Chain A
Amino acid sequence: MNRGVVLSVDNASMVVFTSGCRLERVPSRAGVAPGQEIIIESTKTSQKSRGTVFRPLMAFAAAIFAIVAGVIISQSILSSRTYAVISVDVNPSIQFSLNEDLIVTDIQALNADAAKLMVKEQYKGLAWQDAVDRWLICLEENGYEDISDVLISAVMPAKDEALKTQLTLLEEGAEDSKYRMHVIYSNDGGVSETARKNGLSVGMQMLLNQSAAQQGPWTAENIKAVPLGEIIRILAQSGEMDQTRITVSHPAGSHTSADPTQPSTPADTRPTADPTKPTKPTAPSNSHQSTEPTETSTEPTETFPTETSAEPTETSAEPTETSAEPTETSAEPTDTSAEPTTSPSTSFSIPSNPHGGK
């Protein structure tokens, strides 16, 4: 029990000189006048009684704070999580990571030229279409005026409809523009992972997968050297926008679906195909035509039915042997189009030696 002399009184509080010679403010009481000695609650008791009232309040406030903080943090994590990946292959190529609102959260330059031109801060926070526009404008301003083919590729969840629709609209809307927009996408998340491992854009990876499925000649290494326009015309233009089935629709055990890095294997299997089969030379369409015209013009090319992708097991029969000596096989003109009649829809020409002089 503590005592004190009231020094002054206000409507709500009193100033008390306590027996411990301290000056304290205590709640006002009726009937107390200055100069009177009063019994005052000890500080501990006061704190205890205050604690009984405030502790549950504090706990409640802390709980509310924790919930709000949790929601905010989870929202920020969700909003920053990569929902889809879009690559713009013009060479220089660039890749955008998008969040669920299809806003650019990260940018990755896929080659040295792109790295020189790219300023990440200029693209972060933009809608992906705006980011693509800005990138194309940036390229134009930096001397890439003769761009004609633009490959927009996306990897997105299967349930996504918004991005798919926007991509379709983009391709349709670009008909009048000076660019030839090629749009492909895949719902297979493994594509972006494989692309990352191969150092390719998701678009190029899809094309590589397409090439592999069609027993094309390109590998993760040599596809980078091929001019974009050519490869698009050969692979993507003939196919569907949706490239998902290339990597995920194969039966279990198929190496193309089991390991997305394998698509290069079919191209390397060509030597195992019967070299005695007649080849069907066509006009070379490889990019290396300009650099090595003689080589490409003399070498026969092959025609691959697009439908061969449905039967990948044939091409993956002996992957190890064929991949062991890729240069030898590439030197020999072969034809692996086992079922040419099954591929009436689209066919394309591939130079027998896409590596060129390498």
Chain B
Amino acid sequence: MSRKDDDVLNGQPISEDAILLAQSGDARVREDVIAESVPWIKKLVRKHSFMISVDNTDEFSIALDAFNTAIDRFSTEKQIPFRTYAAIIIRNRLIDWNRQRTSVRREQSFSDMDRGPIPYEERLEDTRSGIAYADIESEDSMIEVEYKLSLFGLTLDGLVEHFPKQRQTLIFCVKAARILSDDSELFEKTMENRRLPVSEIARRMDETAKRIDKHRSCILLLAILLQSDLFLIRSYVAILEKEANL
């Protein structure tokens, strides 16, 4: 992992060996890593909660807990800097806690007030949550997708506005993304260069480079998703391809 990668998404260099040691059960190293990261964690909490002083707040506790979880779940295979990985985990937890707090305020009766937060497993079983399928592990895959997009200066929020609405355009993007994701070498090269090989894809599709370049963000996202472990998304794309006889 290069130093350049470490700088992405609040990523600050931290020894991956220390994380691995902490994962293996070295409590002292874990405490050291956490202690060293406290100012950075506080900074993250301040950013997400818009509070100046975050000491002794629920948000800080949740962030510390999320950081501890990140240490446990971190994997070097994903090639994501630890700080980047931990930052996304902390952000997700803080958002989830915030939404949960808002939801409790809206929906819970007074008799439920002493129950405390609903355990995650219970929430998944709740039919009102509208969750069709829950895979906790897929969070890591999503973090990877988000990280890879960030290498190209893209965010999911920004992509929503520019994602094609017309089916024909969508099929065109899927076709291009499939070419990119199926060729591992080309995909790796793309990730390494952080540039979409527009000409190469255009040549393979017998299309103009201009059209490929116009939809480059969509093609990149679809290719990254197709390369990820998110099998649900891959199945959606496969169904579309089948419908379009690609």
Contacts and interface: CB of A to CB of B under 8 A. Distances in A.
Interface in A176-227: none
Interface residues of B, number: 48
Interface string A1-43: 0010111111100010111111111001111111111111000
A29 B130 contact: yes
A23 B160 contact: yes
Q: In this complex, which of B95, B143, B174, B240 has the most chain A Cβ atoms within 10 angstroms of its Cβ? A: B95
Contacts of B129: 29-32
B98 interface: yes
A25 B222 CA distance: 17
A23 to B, nearest CB: 4
Contact of A34 (B123, B132, B139, B225): B139
B142 A35 contact: yes
Q: In this complex, which of A9, A17, A19, A21 has the most chain B Cβ atoms within 10 angstroms of its Cβ? A: A21
Contacts of A15: 156-157, 159-160
B156 A36 contact: no
Contacts of B99: 9, 11, 28-31
B19 to A, nearest CB: 22
Contacts of B132: 3, 36-39
A8 B156 contact: yes
On chain A, which size bracket covers the interface? Answer: 20 to 34
B225 A36 contact: no
A232 B140 CA distance: 102
A35 B156 contact: no
B246 to A, nearest CB: 12
B95 to A, nearest CB: 5
B92 interface: yes
B141 A35 contact: yes
Nearest to B88: A34
A33 B165 CA distance: 25
B92 A22 contact: no
Given A9-B99, A23-B159, A39-B130, 18 more contacts: A5-B233, A9-B95, A10-B95, A11-B95, A15-B156, A15-B159, A15-B160, A18-B236, A29-B99, A29-B129, A31-B120, A31-B123, A31-B126, A33-B96, A34-B138, A35-B135, A36-B135, A36-B138
16 contacts: A5-B138, A5-B230, A7-B145, A17-B225, A17-B233, A20-B240, A25-B157, A30-B96, A31-B99, A31-B103, A31-B129, A33-B96, A33-B134, A36-B135, A37-B133, A40-B130
7 nearest CB pairs, A to B: A35-B138, A30-B103, A31-B123, A37-B133, A23-B163, A34-B142, A37-B132
Interface of A: 3, 5-11, 15, 17-25, 28-40
